[in-house]
Amino acid sequence: MSEDIKKTINELHIYEKKLLKELEANPNATPEEIAENTAMDIKSVMSAAGSLSSKGIIDVKKEVEETYSLTDDGIKYAEEGLPERKILDVLADKKKIAMKDLADETGIDKKDTNIGIGWLVRKKWAKIDKGIVNITDFGKDFSSKNDIDEKVLNYLQSNAEGVKEFTDDLRDGFKNLGNRKNILNVKKNTSHSFVVLPKGESILKEGFTIQKQATQLTHKQLKEGQWKNLQYRPYDINAEAPVVFAGKKHPLRVIIDEIREIFLNMGFSEDNGSYVESAFWNFDSLFQPQDHAAREMQDTFYLKNPLTCDLPDDALVKLTAETHETGANTGSTGWKYDWSEDIARQSVLRTHTTGISTKHLYDFEPPIKMFSVGRVFRRETFDYKHLPEFHQVEGLVCDEGISYQNLLGTLKEFYKKLGFEVRFRPAYFPYTYLSTETEIYLEEKESWIELGGAGMFRPEVLKPLGINQPALAFGLGIERLAMIRYDVEDIRMLYKSDIKWLRELPLDRGVEL
Ligand code: DAH
């Protein structure tokens, strides 16, 4: 406890100390008195008080006091009488006046006549019947005495310095006048008082000296050694600071940018495809037979508009057809069916980014090192693990001498840079041999999670594209990586724009290259 108190004392600002000492000597001192006695300005007193209060050393009480007085209109009414009184005076004599003659008969201006007649009726001093204003018995009664509104008016007039409180008998009148426009003036006066709390008592009991503290060191003080003898106030590193929600990238964008940076640094160049692709590039160029399950309507989005896409040039289409049907010159027997151009023309939302690899191989000559990041689409039902659109990164390396070992090495290196350790499992894809799937071990789940597929493109893929060198390729999911890194159980979180979650995520940590 005492250690705590000492620490708190150490961290007190000189103004806080002065204020506290003053309160010890003069517990009921107002901020103004404290300012005067300590030779501080009032702003410094209040800010020191705020700081002491946030540390639980004193309590700052705030009181708002209202003072009421008459406006210029109010003074006029007090002197001349309220409009309803002026009309009543005339009515007491004449008993009835036609509405249209009211202003003339009473000599009151139009505005006040309207106000007056309103109150006259409300106070039941008069009744209006077919355009004639008639005095009531109640009105007659009041013709020779003041009502409560007038009493308050008079009271305020005789207390020109203002009234802070009304006695019970005047309170209703005060309310009435307050409800009328422009009669009462309200002046608000806020005052503060301070109460030393138990923690403050302990501090005072412990005692302290008030010494000037150095806040800024000058060149001279440093050079000439005066800094050694100065008093310093320690920082309070536990002081509350405002929470700042800095603008930042979405976590998925962070990972995508990291992935791009990693591949660019590994010497890959970036390519892009389009979301709408022909079945030819999405499936046929990958030696995926036309009756392959992945092509089914329940797995793939087929488009109505455009219903079909153009096929590439005839030679490639012909070679692809032959390869599917008989294996052509690839050393394979093919899938042994009649290949259809119409099926190849169908337009689909790309189901993977691997079509970018085959197109790239057709458009460019090896040596090739290409990667591409983008959205892919599959007819999945939403659940905690699946989305109908998600992101993949596709990679392709093609050159003389490229081997399956290069594939494993490349993937290992890539994941390592992202902060993941992976293992490889044998797999099957219609377009690769050898083929593998990368997996990562999740300790909390005690299980292996699949991250993506990879392999060496088969001759049935490469030959029709005019490629004679070996090619490694991979297609890796990105959302899963984000889920693991940000500890998200439900993939939908990445698309929900949950502002609380996004705010609390750490900033982009950057890649170690
Ligand atoms: N396209 C596969 C998928 O979406 C992943 C894949 C496997 C990509 C093997 C490749 C590859 O480039 O060689 O699951």
CATH number of the domain residue 357 falls in: 3.30.930.10
Predicted local distance difference test score (pLDDT) of residue 445: 83
CA 157 to chain centre: 55
* The pair of three-digit structure tokens given for residue 342, joined into one six-digit string: 């119409």
**pLDDT tops 60 at residue 97:** yes
Predicted local distance difference test score (pLDDT) of residue 508: 67
- The answer to whether residues 116 and 258 belong to one domain is no
Residue 415 placed within a domain:
yes
Poorest-confidence range of 158-162, 241-245, 417-421? 241-245
- The answer to whether residues 480 and 340 belong to one domain is yes
Predicted local distance difference test score (pLDDT) of residue 513: 47
- The answer to whether residues 313 and 359 belong to one domain is yes
Q: List pLDDT tens digits, range 412-442.
A: 999 999 989 999 999 999 999 999 999 998 8
Asked if 49 and 194 count as a contact pair (C-beta separation under 8 A), the reply is yes
Residue 403 placed within a domain:
yes
- Tell me what the mean pLDDT of segment 5-10 comes to: 90
* Helix 2-10 with 198-206: angle, nearest 10 deg: 80
- The answer to whether residues 380 and 269 belong to one domain is yes
- More confident position, 215 or 273: 273
pLDDT-based confidence at 506, cuts 50/70/90? confident
**pLDDT tops 90 at residue 243:** no
Ligand 1: which residue has its CA nearest to atom 10?
Answer: 474
Ligand 1: which residue has its CA nearest to atom 12?
Answer: 474
The mean of the pLDDT values for the chain is: 93
Q: How many domains does the chain have?
A: 3
User: Cα–Cα distances in Å, from 27 out to 45, 47, 197, 199, 467?
Assistant: 15, 18, 11, 15, 93
Predicted local distance difference test score (pLDDT) of residue 1: 55
Residue 346 placed within a domain:
yes
Query: Three-state SS string across 250-290, please?
Result: CHHHHHHHHHHHHHHHCCCEECCCCCEEEHHHHCHHHCCCC
Domain boundary among 218, 242, 266: 242
Residue 510 placed within a domain:
no
Here the CATH number for the domain that contains residue 59 is 1.10.10.10
**pLDDT tops 80 at residue 239:** no
Strand partners, 448: 441
* The pair of three-digit structure tokens given for residue 493, joined into one six-digit string: 């979180």
Instruction: Give the predicted TM-score (pTM) of the model.
Output: 0.62
In eight-state DSSP terms, residue 306 is S
Residue ranges making up the domain that contains 257: 252-504
**pLDDT tops 60 at residue 511:** no
Which amino acid, one-letter code, is at 133? Answer: V
Residue 509 placed within a domain:
no
Which atom of ligand 1 approaches the CA of 376 most closely?
Answer: 4
Q: Report how far ligand 1's centroid is from the alpha carbon of 493 (Å).
A: 25
Who lines ligand 1 at CB under 6 A?
A: 352, 354, 357, 394, 429, 432, 452-455, 473-475
Predicted local distance difference test score (pLDDT) of residue 285: 98
Which atom of ligand 1 approaches the CA of 431 most closely?
Answer: 13
Q: List pLDDT tens digits, range 60-87.
A: 999 999 999 999 999 999 999 999 999 9
- The answer to whether residues 53 and 148 belong to one domain is no
Which atom of ligand 1 approaches the CA of 456 most closely?
Answer: 13
